[in-house]
Amino acid sequence: MARTRRNFSNRVTLSTVAERAGVSPMTVSNVLNEKPNVTPAKREAVMEAVRELGYQPNRAARALASASALRIGLLHRDTESSFLGQVLLGTLRAANRHGTEIAVRPFDPADEKSALKAAEGLIRSGIDGLIVPPPLCENPSIMELQARYHIPMIALAPGASLETIPSVRIDDEAAAYDLTRLLLARGHRRIGFIRFASSHLVSASREAGHRRALQEAGIPDDPALIWTGRPTYEDGLKAAEYFLSLAEPPSAIFGSSDDLAAAIVNYAHRQGMRIPEDLSVAGFDDAPIASQIWPQLTTVRQSISNIAEIATEYLLKSLSERSEMAPEAQLVDYEVIERQSVANLLEPAKV
């Protein structure tokens, strides 16, 4: 006859709590899961026992019993970036609450097919849902997977609302609008803007917000003040070179990403310019580099970990309730952060 295992750990379980509280394990479970229809007296007794014993539910058991056993996949590009850390942190916070495992898989951004392969591998490995950070959420062949495999997906910070899949993001248009308004309020009239190739939703939204602010201020469109490039450091240097060689250079440059803005600052320094006295610079994202350079960048802060947490929570909720997610964007707050990289032209005395 099989022998029962010894209880090495003296673990406090549901039954321990039930015994102490003088109720059945079921009632303890009901209290813990906030089910209605438990008399206040019993609820109190259970809570007291939980407190006394320092009871912690066993997540594995919970996951197994609730037949959830959910696994969600997360695709990521770049182990170096702080972006991944933010995404991981938020996803973990939500996943831990639900006792859910998260399967992380990297892909090679240099290889066109790598992301698709990684996504399909993840799906075949049996994940129940997929979290899609940028820039994948702008990749149609990835988005297509949702329909092909009937796998729920949610996009992180896609820059604009997507038509077929739900997402969590800030309002990039409004945020860029606010930042440009700040630049205008500091007296800037000629503002250079760097955008990415048109396929980047984030960049398009930010440009739209920027233009709206200019328009409202009665500043006419000036194509010379829009520079289009790739979101790389090198192209940031090129943009700076372009803007500073104009007959009438802008007094401020709005980088649409902190990396780009940092490149501008670097280029200007090498030209012997002072920031912000000779040139103001603003970025977007509040990435670590925004406060690692000098002067620190005026920028827009979006909490990626918060976005990832909300998205994961939503995905898990819909999965466990077997309800469909609406293919809509949930907007979260952003914050314009003013640091030292933008001069106030209206108070020259203070410079």
Task: State yes or no: residue 58 binds DNA (CB under 7 A).
Answer: yes
State how far the Cα of 160 lies from the Cα of 340, in Å rounded to an integer: 29
**C-alpha closest to that of 255 among 174, 188, 189, 176:** 176
Of the residues 44, 52, 64, 164, which one makes contact with DNA according to CB under 7 A: 64
State how far the Cα of 342 lies from the Cα of 347, in Å rounded to an integer: 12
Task: State yes or no: residue 66 binds DNA (CB under 7 A).
Answer: yes
Of the residues 266, 318, 330, 344, which one makes contact with a second copy according to CB under 8 A: 266
State how far the Cα of 272 lies from the Cα of 27, in Å rounded to an integer: 73
- Site residues for a second copy, 170-229, by CB under 8 A, read none
Q: In 3-state terms, what secondary structure has residue 32? A: helix
Q: Around Cβ 238, how many Cβ atoms within 10 Å?
A: 17
Residue 168's identity, in one-letter code, is V
Q: Around Cβ 65, how many Cβ atoms within 10 Å?
A: 11
Closest approach of Cβ 117 to a second copy, in Å?
A: 16
Of the residues 6, 124, 322, 350, which one makes contact with DNA according to CB under 7 A: 6
Q: Which does 245 bind (CB under 5 to 8 A by kind): DNA, a second copy, none?
A: none
Task: State yes or no: residue 47 binds a second copy (CB under 8 A).
Answer: no
Q: Which span sits near DNA by CB under 7 A: 32-40, 246-254, 276-284, 302-310? A: 32-40
State how far the Cα of 184 lies from the Cα of 128, in Å rounded to an integer: 47
Relative orientation angle of helices 201-216 and 172-185, to the nearest 10 degrees:
40
Nearer to DNA, 26 or 246 (CB): 26
- Site residues for a second copy, 76-105, by CB under 8 A, read 79-86, 88-89, 92-93, 96, 99, 101-104
Site string for a second copy, 117-156 (x = CB under 8 A): -------xxx------------------------------
Q: In 3-state terms, what secondary structure has residue 65? A: helix
Beta bridge partners of 252: 191, 280
**C-alpha closest to that of 282 among 265, 295, 299, 266:** 299
Q: In 3-state terms, what secondary structure has residue 250? A: coil
Closest approach of Cβ 6 to DNA, in Å?
A: 7
Which residues make Cβ contacts (< 8 Å) with residue 202, sequence separation at least 6?
134, 157, 158, 159, 160, 172, 196, 256
Site string for a second copy, 267-296 (x = CB under 8 A): --xx-x---------------xx--xxx--
What does the binding site for DNA look like in residue numbers (CB under 7 A)?
1-7, 9, 11, 13-15, 23-27, 29-30, 32-33, 36-39, 41-42, 55-58, 61-62, 64-67, 69
What does the binding site for a second copy look like in residue numbers (CB under 8 A)?
5, 8-9, 54, 56, 58-61, 63-64, 67, 69, 71, 79-86, 88-89, 92-93, 96, 99, 101-104, 124-126, 233, 237, 259, 262-263, 266, 269-270, 272, 288-289, 292-294, 305
